[in-house]
């Protein structure tokens, strides 16, 4: 059984196809605990978080970040995940308690929860004057198919995307992770199709992750008789970049009237981070000191 969150990258012997395989159970479990998500909301948010972490692994700069936003008009509301080049990711779902009956035993109704009357948006901030923004219509709301459509339409990369979250009866996350299979420029379609057949024959990625002891073992099952080599590995984790200092600066940017309104309505000056639900408290004196320090 896998006991750590990480991903591995591989290419076939002829360098026609690249693969990214990830295990994200710990990260999705922490996201579930912080947001107290229902089973179906956990699956939806977990798939988006997993995809963001996998896409973030291609970022190069130390400060590069990636944000994924999915809004299909369903009862889940928008789902947002961010990731950086170091394997850190975080996520939120607007309606964490939203749930629907399973479509069939073991098949959560993610597409119906998310909806498909909307879009998938990817924002890459790589320190340039303007961030890269790619936006495509949703095709199913099932997340995996939507990311495959994003790569094809926005980045012209034919891809097979499999994302899975296995939720236990007590709502804990039993297994989570994903697989990207992407054609390199000039790739022979037959290689991609062969790998696709082998992937489908193995069953849902979440069940594979639940039964396997390593990603390397799963990669062998995916590739079978196709020569390949591993070209990268990276640890993954749920990690929010919020802090008392950062949120204090945001509070200090508010007017005295706005601060008084917050204190009057809440009874105290406090801010809750949407991504991790951490609550930060402040005093009027602390905010006033920061305001004086601002140039």
Last residue of a domain, one of 213, 238, 263: 238
Q: Give, in order, the Cα–Cα distances in Å from 187 to each of 18, 88, 144, 162, 190.
A: 10, 31, 22, 20, 9
Burial call 217-234: b when 16+ CB within 10 Å, e when fewer: ebbeebbeeeebeeeeeb
Assigned domain for 110 exists: yes
Report the CATH number at residue 275. Answer: 3.90.1280.10
Is a pLDDT exceeding 90 seen at residue 211?
yes
Q: Are residues 16 and 158 in the same domain?
A: yes
pTM of the model: 0.93
The answer to whether the beta carbons of residues 30 and 275 sit under 8 Å apart is no
> Closest Cα to residue 157, out of 134, 125, 129, 132?
134
Report the CATH number at residue 86. Answer: 3.55.30.10
| Number of domains comprising the chain | 2
Tens digit of pLDDT for each residue in 70-100?
Answer: 999 999 999 999 999 999 999 999 999 999 9
CA dist 75 and 58 (Å) reads 32
Q: Are residues 133 and 164 in the same domain?
A: yes
Q: Are residues 223 and 97 in the same domain?
A: yes
Q: Are residues 287 and 193 in the same domain?
A: no
CA dist 274 and 40 (Å) reads 19
> Closest Cα to residue 175, out of 222, 216, 141, 208?
208
Assigned domain for 1 exists: no
User: Which residues, at least 6 apart from 94, have a Cβ–Cβ distance to it below 8 Å?
Assistant: 76, 77, 78, 79
Q: In this predicted structure, what is the pLDDT of residue 159?
A: 94
Residues of the domain holding 263: 244-293
CA dist 164 and 79 (Å) reads 16
Q: Are residues 223 and 266 in the same domain?
A: no
Tens digit of pLDDT for each residue in 19-71?
Answer: 999 999 999 999 999 999 999 999 999 999 999 999 999 999 889 999 999 99
């Amino acid at each position: 059984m896998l006991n750590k969150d990480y991903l591995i990258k591989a290419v076939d012997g002829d360098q026609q196809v690249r693969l990214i395989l990830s295990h994200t159970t710990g990260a999705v479990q922490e996201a579930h605990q912080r947001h107290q998500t229902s089973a179906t909301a956990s699956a939806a948010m977990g798939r988006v978080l997993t995809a963001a972490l996998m896409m973030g692994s291609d970022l190069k700069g130390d400060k590069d970040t990636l944000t994924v936003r999915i809004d299909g008009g369903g009862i889940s509301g928008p789902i947002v995940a961010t990731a950086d080049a170091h394997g850190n990711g975080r996520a939120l779902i607007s309606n964490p308690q939203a749930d629907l009956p399973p479509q069939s035993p073991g098949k959560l109704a993610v597409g119906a929860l998310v909806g498909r009357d909307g879009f998938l948006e990817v924002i890459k901030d790589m320190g340039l004057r303007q961030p890269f923004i790619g936006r495509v219509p949703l095709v199913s709301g099932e997340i995996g198919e939507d990311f495959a459509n994003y790569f094809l339409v926005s980045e012209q990369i034919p891809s097979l995307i499999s994302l899975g979250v296995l939720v236990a009866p007590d709502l804990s996350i039993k297994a989570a992770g994903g697989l990207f299979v992407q054609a390199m420029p000039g790739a022979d379609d037959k290689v991609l199709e062969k790998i696709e057949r082998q992937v489908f024959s193995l069953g849902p990625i979440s069940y594979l992750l639940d039964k396997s002891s390593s990603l390397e073992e799963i990669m062998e099952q995916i590739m079978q008789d196709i020569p390949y080599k591993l070209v990268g590995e990276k640890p993954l984790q749920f990690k929010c970049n919020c802090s008392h200092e950062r949120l204090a600066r945001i509070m200090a940017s508010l007017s005295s009237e706005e601060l008084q309104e917050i204190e009057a309505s809440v009874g105290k000056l406090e801010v809750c981070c949407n991504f991790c639900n951490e609550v930060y408290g402040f005093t009027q004196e602390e905010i006033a000191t920061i305001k004086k320090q601002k140039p």
